[in-house]
């Protein structure tokens, strides 16, 4: 990282590192792995993807996890500090998202066929005609853990009968999707949003076996925190601002389920030594649910489960 900051992490992230006795170690790792530019391999990586996962805020400052798709090349990079996304919103995407100049944005690209994953936190420099131009704040790679291998095909030019509905509770159709998915994305935000590259928004992947997400009641879900790379961007954000957005993907039907809510980190001390489940849970209290059916313009082909999953 070219910045002269003492740490690549904001105070919420640092406080979680501190609670685990790894603040100094993570500061050293952050200085090495978090950059203010994209290496060429990341630029090439993003450009070959048919889908990209995005976090942006709405007008009230609440983070949302959204998905944009396109033929490979719909994400491009003219230089190491700039990324461009050219795509139309999918059905069900909120209408009041902050895409204007100066707004914060985060993306994670996942190449499901190889389990590669790279992240970018950025600031929007221009937005017009569904074209998002962003400047890099932080760029870094992530480990391949818990990503299921699927072949992703470019979008097809065909009509799909997509529709969406919004509710505030988990009904039977929502329950069926939640209990079947093995992949979700969680969007979060720093408590302060400003010009500091550490103070922005974040989106990241979570994967597991079907049933990963536990339904506690019609307004509450939770899922485990598996052993990862210990960066804790999401947890560091939740400590300071509990607002989150969740997007679940039903790859079989092409349906997207989005939750808007508030998160709480649950520590189960008696389970802390379990592996890979570290005795932590993310508990979400739901405000709204949106289901967009038959939204993906392609059907990924399942290949295999991540070998890191419990029981695999």
Mean local confidence (pLDDT), 281-308: 93
Q: Are the CB atoms for 184 and 248 separated by under 8 Å? A: yes
Q: Sort residue 111 into left (φ over 0), alpha (ψ -120 to 50) or beta.
A: beta
- The reported pLDDT for the residue numbered 306 is 95
Helix (H, G, I), strand (E, B) or coil at 50: coil
pLDDT score of 12 more than 60: yes
Q: Sort residue 73 into left (φ over 0), alpha (ψ -120 to 50) or beta.
A: left
Q: Are the CB atoms for 82 and 73 separated by under 8 Å? A: no
Report pLDDT digits (tens) over 174-233.
999 999 999 999 999 999 999 999 999 999 999 999 999 999 999 999 999 887 777 888
Of residues 115 and 230, the one with the higher pLDDT is 115
Report pLDDT digits (tens) over 255-287.
999 999 999 999 876 544 555 566 789 999 999
Mean local confidence (pLDDT), 163-180: 95
pLDDT score of 3 more than 50: no
pLDDT score of 158 more than 90: no
Tokens of 139: 């760029």
Helix (H, G, I), strand (E, B) or coil at 20: coil
Average pLDDT, the chain: 91
- pLDDT band for position 1 (cuts 50, 70, 90): very low
- The reported pLDDT for the residue numbered 4 is 43
- The reported pLDDT for the residue numbered 160 is 63
- The reported pLDDT for the residue numbered 275 is 54
Instruction: Please give the full DSSP string across 144-181, using - where no structure is assigned.
Output: -TTPPEEE--PPP------EEEEESS--HHHHHHHHH-
pLDDT score of 310 more than 90: no
pLDDT score of 8 more than 70: yes
Report pLDDT digits (tens) over 233-257.
899 899 999 999 999 999 989 999 9
- The reported pLDDT for the residue numbered 2 is 40
CATH class held by domain 11-304: mainly beta
Question: Which residue has 């003219």 as its token pair?
Answer: 78
Mean local confidence (pLDDT), 25-45: 92
Mean local confidence (pLDDT), 79-92: 96
The verdict on pTM exceeding 0.85 is yes
């Amino acid at each position: 990282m070219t910045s002269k900051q003492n740490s690549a992490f904001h105070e919420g992230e640092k406080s979680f590192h501190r609670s685990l006795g790894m603040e100094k170690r993570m500061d050293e790792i952050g200085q090495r792995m978090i950059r203010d530019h994209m290496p060429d391999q990341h630029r090439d990586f993003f450009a070959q993807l048919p889908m990209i996962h995005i976090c942006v805020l709405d007008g009230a400052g609440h983070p949302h996890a959204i998905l944009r798709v396109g033929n490979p090349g719909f994400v491009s990079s003219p230089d190491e500090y700039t990324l461009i996304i050219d795509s139309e919103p999918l059905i069900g995407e909120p209408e009041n998202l902050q895409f204007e100049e100066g707004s914060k944005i985060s993306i994670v690209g996942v190449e499901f066929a190889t389990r590669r994953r790279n992240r970018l936190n950025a600031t929007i420099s221009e937005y017009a005609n569904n074209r998002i131009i962003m400047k890099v704040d932080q760029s870094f790679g992530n480990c391949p853990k818990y990503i299921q291998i699927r072949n992703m095909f470019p979008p097809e030019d065909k009509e799909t009968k997509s529709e969406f509905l919004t509710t505030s509770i988990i009904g039977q159709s929502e329950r069926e999707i939640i209990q079947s998915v093995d992949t979700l994305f969680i969007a979060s935000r720093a408590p302060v949003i400003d010009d500091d590259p550490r103070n922005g928004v974040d989106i990241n992947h979570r994967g597991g076996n079907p049933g990963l997400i536990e339904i506690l009641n019609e307004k509450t879900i939770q899922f485990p925190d598996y052993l990862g790379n210990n960066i804790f961007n999401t947890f560091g954000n939740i400590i300071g601002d509990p607002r989150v957005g969740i997007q679940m993907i039903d790859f079989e039907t092409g349906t997207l389920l989005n939750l808007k809510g508030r998160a709480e980190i649950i520590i189960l001390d008696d389970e802390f030594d379990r592996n890979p489940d570290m005795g932590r849970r993310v508990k979400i209290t739901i405000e709204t649910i949106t289901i967009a059916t038959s939204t993906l313009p392609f059907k990924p082909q399942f290949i295999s489960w991540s070998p890191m999953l419990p029981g695999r």
